Structure 1
């Protein structure tokens, strides 16, 4: 924008700002023009955006900033008067159009003050909100009180508490950073909420494959428990339960790879081949299981707990902090053997905590990449062994022998890929 202004004569230096504001107004106006009930369309919103730039221009030039507020008041009053004068018996009172016009005016003011990129982004987002009204209304009507509570709790975790948490290292070895600990809580809660929302939107009727993938994103342990119970109570559900459980545990490898890519990209070159090995051999086992078991029948309802429940989130944060401190202490006291012991024990019930702790220690230059890969591999193997035991105890031998074979294929892939990587690094 600055380069373009430099090419223009001085008397036209402000023209590009007016052009950008006009484009924003036309974009928003195109959507409003399609709505017969709206009292503002293409021309009105375009002119309103130009008015915003003009008001900011005059206010800056004359040193009278109150002109901006007066312009905003006049735009709102004009549209309210237009809707009152029409006196139409319509379900839409026009508040959305009034808000869109006032926003368009404000975006014009932002353009004058060189907030051009932000103004354009907000204009596009506003147009999308206006255009997708039916879809947004349908989603809101399908949301239960439980779903809305999950969203609100996640908003509290991410947007209220997280900015207030101090971003400093505390405790022995400087291993405890409250901001990082809470960020992990937000990250895990967000992943769980995304999977839960996808599960709610897609529905159960899409079959075992989709439910396994989404169930693994929400919680592979919860999915394993739920479908082990389904297999015990209804033997006809055994083939579906096995496939859902194996696929859910395959998703864990993808989730660990995403976490490593976000938090410690330097670990990926050595960790990714191990995870891909588990996915490859485990995926072949899952395909063989689908062909062998040929699942049929209706999907049972999978009852998932609130993925962003505060008690669960706080419990994970506490567990993460304890594992982080224990890992740093044992690593300093016993070397890598102590950290491996923590990985085996904590991995029995949860892979995320020890994985995130190890990635954090890597960022603090307290762990080499090879040790992080070993820790993640051991924790994942321990977790697979624990869930295999769950399927045996809860689902019974007939179901467990197939599920254990599938999870064993994942574990085999991890071990083979890990051994190959060790051979290359030796």
Structure 2
């Protein structure tokens, strides 16, 4: 039926109707935007923009091969809009140019419809409508930026879009290590990307988040760092039940972050880890819910204070430290596997858990070790269990006395569960 209608209705008519409808929508948006202003403060809205779109259609359809008439019409429109803008500056003392640019885009709709896929034209129209309506939203959003934000964005684009494609993907170390400058930098970009997303969410989407959301977002960056921050602030927060829940949730998000890294570097290992990670996330979520909703203590419950869970994740020192640990664990893991086999890698995984497990995990996922996948999965689970033990030690030694016992219980459950999951893989 649809094809029959298209065959009956000339394509020129369909294109004309699209130009008219899109132009009218843009014009209606302009009328709504200027509805509270005087008529003299604008050069036109719905009828004007619709006629501009139709004018572009007429000039284009007459000589579509050379578009000479369309170009002259566009030049005449630019002159008229320039005169209008000059009057706006001189008489009204206003300098905004959004409506003029929108009018020029409306004039160009016809060649877009004839030469580009319809989804692209729709996308352009939608963006025009959204951007003209988002002035106040963008203004409020820009107020949250400080002078370092664009430098941070430039750093990430430099890491991911400039340096990474230029690096060679050739092995420069032992064949078993599968180590190349490209894979080395890819690991830095992957970890920095997850951390940067968490940083942006915390600063711009949830700037006034409480302690619970701080734990969730901080866990995407670093569960260990978030745990240390929360336990140190436990005396000031005076929300012991929520502080414990936030720390456990930070660990829960650690499983999400590690699964994303595994999925990025080695899908086979990632799906082998998925059942254990799913169980760990559910158990940690249940523990967090219990401490948040049902755990009672004698402290006075006050409103959660918002604070930054971490600083800028793209500092050069952080990236450099990650790179050094990445290379170190590459050699150390290779040495242990060659000399001590599976037992050595299991012992090493427990030791590594007391440091940053990210470089060790990515080495296991990227390198071509002569070991079974189950051994790699077990080593990752052991490293996570050891890291949970480290966070429990931090919690007990650095926190307020009122949360030491629930922290020990929560992490104790996660540690025992991690050991059980690791044991099951050996069966």
TM over 0.5: yes
Shift of 1:384: 1.0
- 2:211 matched residue in structure 1: 208
User: In the alignment, which of 358, 361, 372 is matched to residue 355 of structure 1?
Assistant: 361
Native 8 Å contact 2:202 2:214 kept in 1: yes
Native 8 Å contact 1:5 1:14 kept in 2: no
TM-score, normalised with respect to structure 1: 0.79
TM-score, normalised with respect to structure 2: 0.79
User: Residues 124 and 398 (structure 1 numbering): CA distance in 2 closer, same or farther, change over 3 Å?
Assistant: same
- Please tell me whether residue 246 in structure 1 is matched to residue 248 in structure 2: yes
User: In the alignment, which of 184, 187, 193 is matched to residue 181 of structure 1?
Assistant: 184
User: In the alignment, which of 409, 412, 417 is matched to residue 408 of structure 1?
Assistant: 412
User: In the alignment, which of 283, 286, 296 is matched to residue 284 of structure 1?
Assistant: 286
Native 8 Å contact 1:195 1:215 kept in 2: yes
Shift of 1:308: 2.2
User: In the alignment, which of 157, 160, 172 is matched to residue 159 of structure 2?
Assistant: 157
Shift of 1:274: 0.3
Shift of 1:277: 1.4
Q: Quick one: distance in 2 between partners of 1:155 and 1:128?
A: 26
- 2:125 matched residue in structure 1: 123
User: Residues 344 and 416 (structure 1 numbering): CA distance in 2 closer, same or farther, change over 3 Å?
Assistant: closer
- 1:143 matched residue in structure 2: 145
- 1:220 matched residue in structure 2: 223
Shift of 1:18: 5.1
**Number of residues of Structure 1 aligned to a counterpart in Structure 2:** 415
Counterparts of residues 356-375 of structure 1 (less than 5 Å)? 356-361=362-367, 368-375=372-379
Shift of 1:96: 1.7
- 2:29 matched residue in structure 1: 31
Q: Quick one: distance in 2 between partners of 1:166 and 1:102?
A: 45
Shift of 1:22: 4.9
User: Residues 205 and 269 (structure 1 numbering): CA distance in 2 closer, same or farther, change over 3 Å?
Assistant: same
Q: Quick one: distance in 2 between partners of 1:341 and 1:56?
A: 74
Shift of 1:255: 2.0
Stretch moving more, 139-148 or 276-285 = 139-148
User: Residues 283 and 186 (structure 1 numbering): CA distance in 2 closer, same or farther, change over 3 Å?
Assistant: same
Q: Quick one: distance in 1 between partners of 2:180 and 2:5?
A: 48
Shift of 1:213: 1.2
SS at match of 1:142: coil
Q: Quick one: distance in 2 between partners of 1:6 and 1:372?
A: 60
Unaligned runs of 5+ in 2: 35-40
- Please tell me whether residue 299 in structure 1 is matched to residue 297 in structure 2: no
Shift of 1:214: 1.9
Native 8 Å contact 1:279 1:413 kept in 2: no
Structure number with larger C-alpha Rg: 2
Unaligned runs of 5+ in 1: none
- 2:350 matched residue in structure 1: 344
SS at match of 1:34: helix
Q: Quick one: distance in 2 between partners of 1:188 and 1:254?
A: 13
Native 8 Å contact 1:158 1:186 kept in 2: yes
Q: Quick one: distance in 1 between partners of 2:263 and 2:371?
A: 17
Q: Quick one: distance in 2 between partners of 1:108 and 1:156?
A: 37
- 1:380 matched residue in structure 2: 384
SS at match of 1:277: helix
- 2:262 matched residue in structure 1: 260
